[in-house]
Amino acid sequence: EWNMEDVLQEQIKHVRSMVGPDEHVICGLSGGVDSTVAAMLVHKAIGDRLHCLFVDNGLLRYQERERVMSSFRNELHLPVTCIDASENFLGKLKGVKDPERKRKIIGEEFIRVFEGFAPKVGEEVGRNPSFLVQGTLYPDVIESCPPPGSGRNHSHTIKSHHNVGGLPERMNLKLIEPLKLLFKDEVRQLGKFLNVPESFLKRHPFPGPGLAVRVLGDVTEGNALNILREVDEIFIQAIKDAGLYDSIWQAFAVFLPVRTVGVQGDQRTHANAVVLRAITSEDGMTADWYYFDHKFLIDVVSKICNQVRGVNRVCQDITSKPPATVEWE
Ligand code: XMP
């Protein structure tokens, strides 16, 4: 196990050696552990020459933008610019069904937003930032671009996570990836060491492409995103109320683009099915499904069907990784 003090000092040194004394850096924050810890580290290395932004890509969870922006302000005391690019993202995703295409489009769109942000910062500070901080972790590196000699090559790439393989090859910003050699639990330790509040460190991982990989198929179809947000919020809130949040690695809902027949009141309905998935894991590379008690499931399913219009069937995913992956896409 590594000593976090050493990791921190080494990475600070590395960042300072990459970024010249007058150069500026931008960092996209998601509100999650990785980008927050990466930003705090780079901030320690170069101070106010770091400029953070939060992108609303239209694929965020229930009230996430408001919640995250207020946490940055009140808990992290980090100045963050919020950019609403939801129309750009959703416009580009219209009609797109293939998961890898979705990731690629989202990765590219993120970069366009970052590249648009850099000159805005430049106007203020007199010099355009030329670096971008990414909170890439070791598992992202091995799953997206297996290291040489690992016996895996690109054709066996599992998923092009947007913050690694999904980035466009041509990008005007140089990458700084200070967490590239760390696993999630090490990032959490490092964050603790950097005084990142628990509320950030304990948040479940959330994929860069957001709800786009949790609405199967075309994310812009009908009211899918909003239905998913409501279901997800009920599920997560129930998990928090039951005191289970910290025992679970990730919990979320998935929207299925299929309609099933149901009966609600005296009415026959033809509405969507959703899936609940909760897992435990050490590093996201393998995972076990989480066993909820009967009463918890009964309550959560009844809340979902009573409160969310458009859903008449709730399934639970009881597949581990492998053979399944964590996400459905
Ligand atoms: P999978 O589905 O590959 O997920 O078993 C492993 C972990 O990675 C997250 N994940 C992603 N994170 N961009 C990300 O930043 C992605 O495209 C992506 N796909 C999956 C997933 O939530 C889990 O924590």
**Does the beta carbon of 163 sit less than 6 angstroms from any atom of ligand 1?**
yes
pLDDT at 286: 97
The answer to whether residue 291 is domain-embedded is: yes
- Domain of residue 144, CATH code: 3.40.50.620
The answer to whether residue 209 is domain-embedded is: no
Asked whether residue 142 falls in the same domain as residue 32, the answer is yes
CA 250 to ligand 1: nearest atom:
24
Minimal-distance CA residue to ligand 1 atom 10: 207
Test site for ligand 1: of 185, 326, 328, most ligand atoms within 8 A of the Cβ: 326
Of 289, 196, 295, 286, the residue nearest 248 (C-alpha): 289
**Measured torsion, CA atoms of residues 187, 189, 190, 195, in degrees rounded to the nearest 10:** 120
Asked whether residue 156 falls in the same domain as residue 303, the answer is no
Minimal-distance CA residue to ligand 1 atom 9: 207
Of 246, 241, 216, 249, the residue nearest 303 (C-alpha): 241
Asked whether residue 197 falls in the same domain as residue 232, the answer is no
Structure confidence by residue, pLDDT tens digits, 192-202: 999 999 999 99
Asked whether residue 245 falls in the same domain as residue 287, the answer is yes
pLDDT at 148: 54
| Ligand 1 geometric centre to CA of 26 (Å) | 23
Residue 79: count other Cβ atoms within 10 Å of its Cβ: 11
Asked whether residue 102 falls in the same domain as residue 73, the answer is yes
pLDDT at 170: 66
Residue 167 pLDDT > 90: no
Q: Are strands 131-133 and 174-176 parallel, antiparallel or unpaired?
A: parallel
Q: Alpha-carbon torsion 70, 76, 81, 83, what sign?
A: negative
State the pLDDT confidence band at 147, using cuts at 50, 70 and 90.
low
CA angle (237, 82, 193) in 5-degree steps: 65
Asked whether residue 169 falls in the same domain as residue 221, the answer is no
Residue 27 pLDDT > 60: yes
Residue 156 pLDDT > 50: no
Q: Which domain holds residue 257?
A: 214-316
Amino acid, res. 324: A
